[in-house]
Copies of this chain bind each other. A is one copy, B any other.
Amino acid sequence: MATTRAIANLETRQRLLNVAAELFAEHGFGHVTVREICQVAGANVAAVNYHFRDKLGLYKEVVEMAANAINRSKVDVIEAAEGLAPEDRLRTYIRLTLHRLLDPEEDSWMEKLIAREMMDPTPALDLIVEKGIKPTSQRLGRMVAELLGTPLDDARVWQCFLSIQAQCLFYKSGKPISVRMSPPGFRYTPEIIDGLAHHIAEFSLAGIRAIAALKPQPTEWKL
């Protein structure tokens, strides 16, 4: 059988998954060696092949973890903003999202992994889109559509949503440059993150109001 067996099994398996997630996110699939993963996880070199067949098999499971984790954290943010007035809902969404991305306390290995998949897409990117993005896209779109006063399938909904998302994500990916443009000792403190969130929110709310005044546009998006 495999009772206590299955436990010990799941233990190294899970240890490998956790270590691999962090290392893949930090350095990318091609720059992490199987030996490195196993060493950090305290397992033998052959452990990856035994439990996941391939280095790639391990990677695919890690990406699936990331997609699910991303979806969960998005749902959390959405539900935290539920019940507020439309404007405040957007403000809250932006603030929580930005903290999740920039706060040094949070470890955003999932976002890092996804950023790497966007830069060098593998077949695993489809999984991220299906399990990490599409499930919440309707609810996020509705948040913007409400502010725009347009139906969900107006192209402006997704353009505005992407404008917001772009601003949030940019501060994450642009961190290495921001740091170099800032005075020495600069850090993303909670107060600074709140300030950025405030800027993005007011900037975007005004943008949405202006776009709402334009003529309707059919969308090319499928959900």
Contacts and interface: CB of A to CB of B under 8 A. Distances in A.
A160 B37 CA distance: 42
Contact of A129 (B156, B160, B177, B202): B177
A5 interface: no
How many identical chains are in the complex?
2
Given A30-B30, A169-B170, A174-B162, A156 B220 contact: no
Contacts of A203: 159-160, 163, 204, 207-208, 210-211
A160 B202 CA distance: 11
Interface in A159-173: 159-160, 162-163, 165-167, 169-171, 173
Interface in A1-46: 27-28, 30-31
What 9 A-B pairs come out closest when comparing CB atoms?
A206-B210, A166-B170, A203-B207, A121-B176, A207-B207, A206-B206, A159-B199, A166-B166, A166-B167
